[in-house]
Structure 1
Amino acid sequence: MAVTNLATVDEFNTYIKSKDLTVIHFYAAWAAQCAQINDVLEEMGKSADYKGVNFAKIAAEDVPEVSLKFGVSAVPTILLLRNSVITDRVDGANPAELATKVKQQMSSKDPVPIEIPKPKENIEERLKKLINHAPCMLFMKGNPANPRCGFSRTIISILDSYNADYQTFDILQDNDVREGLKKFSNWPTYPQLYLNGELLGGLDIVREMGEAGELEAMLPKKVSLEERS
């Protein structure tokens, strides 16, 4: 069976309604690995070993809404479907894995749908949310109860000495944030202190501002139970 070329969203939606196993390659014309997978699908489509399987390809960039809906964020990506439901997938150019998974799905009497991966949040948007999570945000190694470096321990002591109301984020728990924030704020070291979404600086600047009498007035203060009532 020849590989069907799908060009529109409607063609895609109609094609995947089949109760038969359907294999669809999300490709890009500029990607050499996609050309390899297209050749593999052509061979599989001609082979009696894959009789009854529908093979198709679609340009991922031409149908962005479909790519987003089905969790396709890179090419080549191959989806295996029945009745419009994804039962397996292959990410990247791996003909051996593709052949194995197609065989498995052909013999499966009760295929189980797989979860569609959610698109990863843009790191810049995530960093903006984090630095604005609280009026005073400290990105540090560890947490206030257990600082994981001397610089973080010192800046916590300074903030606590002013009874500052602040939130923290442990960069050791998230490498995307750890590396991304360095570039986002053009500040290569930690800890980093943010006030109202703006970088104030690291330990040296915070210490200098404290010694100059400039820091205390800038920091939000914790409110006691008596003051709340």
Structure 2
Amino acid sequence: MSKRGVLHGVGVGPGDPELITVKAFRILKESPVIAYPKKRSGSKSYALAITETYVNTMEKEMVGLVFPMTKDKETLERQWNKTVETVWQHLREGRDVAFVTEGDPLLYSTFIHMMRLMRELHPEVEIRSIPGISSVNGAAARLGLPLADGDEQTAIIPATEDRAAMRKALVEHDCVIFIKVAKVLDMMIELLRELDLVHKAAVVTKATSSEEMIWRDVEELEGAELEYLTLMVVRK
């Protein structure tokens, strides 16, 4: 049998194209196939925009993968199986595939499910992960805030409508980073007021990118609609 290609999960950082590792740069240059999350709207994906700084897309086989934004299990399973098989077709022919993702590929990333399902359906495939700088680290750098020092405890929490869970996270940790916070921003501001932590919070959208926005007075954001790639840092 011919040699299989290697599937690389490549973290391309939080937004600033300079925040990419030397190894990620090498893998992007060497891989004949670049797979990336593709938006149905036709707008360019965040990860692809970063990647285009380093690769000539005319010299690569660019594979856009659509990931459905739904909780319907049948739809998800059908689309994910199709997506994995699309990548497998290149791997089976001996071509390495670099799957690019913003941030880190093993931290709340689409690549995690790709890796899990590829191992299940095609266990013979070698899979490697190239760490990347996450939006959490990028936001901390832009805010000038240490995330943890000494014996302090830090949590990374996906923001949800579970008010009790969000309150518990704030109470129990010295620093909390709430990712995907835009959809529950008003509730989070209410919680911050309740716990007298409004002055300890900051919000960052598209950290380190050319479209970055930073708010240090989070009460300004009450009623606002922000980008999906928005996080909140609360350091007590």
Q: TM-score, normalization: structure 2?
A: 0.21
Which has the larger helix fraction? 1
For the pair shown, which has the larger CA radius of gyration, 1 or 2? 1
Q: TM-score, normalization: structure 1?
A: 0.22
